[in-house]
Amino acid sequence: MNFTDKVVLITGASSGIGAATAIHFSKYGAKLALTGRNVENLQKVAEQCHNAKEGNLKPFIIPGDVSNENDVKNILSTTIKEFGKLDVLVNNAGILETGTIETTNVEQYDRVFNVNVRSVYQLTNLAVPYLIQTKGSIVNVSSVNGIRSFPGVLAYNMSKAALDQLTRCVALELGGKGVRVNSVNPGVTITEIHKRGGMNEEQYAKFLERAKETHILGRPGQAEEVARAIAFLASDEASFITGASLPVDGGRHAMCPR
Ligand code: NDP
């Protein structure tokens, strides 16, 4: 893979899968625009990207909250101002909240959908004219929860199913213009998301232990493993792949209880 001179915008680049994706793209010479709210973390990730390959530019950092419409406009416009073009958009920022139909509420639905779906809808809408110019590509970070149903994370499941539908629809709409659109659907991946979603250390340790049974490959995934799939889908190596939702989940999507 070669991303020399390709401009790649990654949301949620301050942590977990987004951070690993930024570092992975930087090994292939990409010019990176990284966004998130935690500027200190973004700077640490940017430093790692800078050091990943000789001659790499330091990534361009754009602080912002993707649930804020003005911030999303600013993320896209400053990326274009800095680099003059966009080749790859990675819609990765996301949040997880727990709630069943009995314990959820519309505020939870709005919080989860605003970050996981609405922001992607808005940023993609703004980015598409530039992606058409470069015949670029989009990779959305969905989840195994988008293609399978798990109890207790209702709004999250629904948000990821909506994201997969967005992937397919936009792929159909832009295929004729040379823009490819795909999703990755990770299984349990070791990042901050579960603790941020409410698990304490003990619950998280149990959850990771259980992941050995819930994933065919007998373990949870690492962020780098998802990053490699994202870079592949964004690259010319995937030149005939569009509208796909690619599980990166140690086989979890194929499992059924028995
Ligand atoms: P992390 O919590 O480690 O990272 C989430 C990222 O999203 C952070 O960079 C965070 O930035 C950003 N983010 C969250 N809310 C906002 C917001 N309102 N505005 C801007 N940025 C925001 O989680 P992961 O790396 O695990 O999550 C990345 C994606 O992967 C998500 O879409 C998630 O649903 C998906 N995923 C994760 C799985 C897992 O097991 N880890 C499994 C399947 C899918 P900041 O902190 O700077 O605001």
Centroid of ligand 1 to alpha carbon of 185 (angstroms):
13
At residue 240, the pLDDT reads 98
Centroid of ligand 1 to alpha carbon of 16 (angstroms):
7
At residue 257, the pLDDT reads 83
At residue 126, the pLDDT reads 98
Dist. CA 4–CA 236, nearest whole Å: 12
pLDDT digits (tens, 9 = 90+) for 6-54: 999 999 999 999 999 999 999 999 999 999 999 999 999 999 999 998 8
Dist. CA 150–CA 207, nearest whole Å: 14
At residue 175, the pLDDT reads 98
- Of 28, 109, 121, 156, the active-site residue reads 156
Confidence of residue 55 (pLDDT cuts 50, 70, 90): confident
Residue 69: alpha-carbon gap to chain centroid: 19
At residue 112, the pLDDT reads 98
Residue nearest to atom 24 of ligand 1 (CA): 16
At residue 226, the pLDDT reads 98
Q: Is the CB of 221 under 6 A from ligand 1?
A: no
Q: What structural domains does the chain harbor?
A: 7-193+223-241 (3.40.50.720)
Copy the structure tokens of residue 226: 């998802």
Q: Is the CB of 18 under 6 A from ligand 1?
A: yes
Residue nearest to atom 34 of ligand 1 (CA): 94
Copy the structure tokens of residue 91: 């819609």
Residue 204: alpha-carbon gap to chain centroid: 22
Does the pLDDT of residue 4 top 90, yes or no? yes
pLDDT digits (tens, 9 = 90+) for 76-127: 999 999 999 999 999 999 999 999 999 999 999 999 999 999 999 999 999 9
Task: Please confirm, yes or no, whether 28 is among the known catalytic residues.
Answer: no
Q: Taking a C-beta distance cutoff of 8 angstroms, is the pair 64, 74 a contact? A: yes
At residue 137, the pLDDT reads 98
At residue 224, the pLDDT reads 98
3 secondary structure, DSSP code: -
Dist. CA 68–CA 65, nearest whole Å: 6
Q: Is the pTM of this model over 0.75?
A: yes
Residue nearest to atom 8 of ligand 1 (CA): 12
Q: Is the CB of 92 under 6 A from ligand 1?
A: yes
Confidence of residue 258 (pLDDT cuts 50, 70, 90): confident
Does the pLDDT of residue 56 top 90, yes or no? no
pLDDT digits (tens, 9 = 90+) for 158-191: 999 999 999 999 999 999 999 999 999 999 999 9
Centroid of ligand 1 to alpha carbon of 176 (angstroms):
31
Q: Which residues contact 244 (CB under 8 A, 6 or more apart)?
A: 167, 182, 183, 233
Centroid of ligand 1 to alpha carbon of 128 (angstroms):
22
**Ligand 1: which atom is nearest the Cα of residue 96?**
34
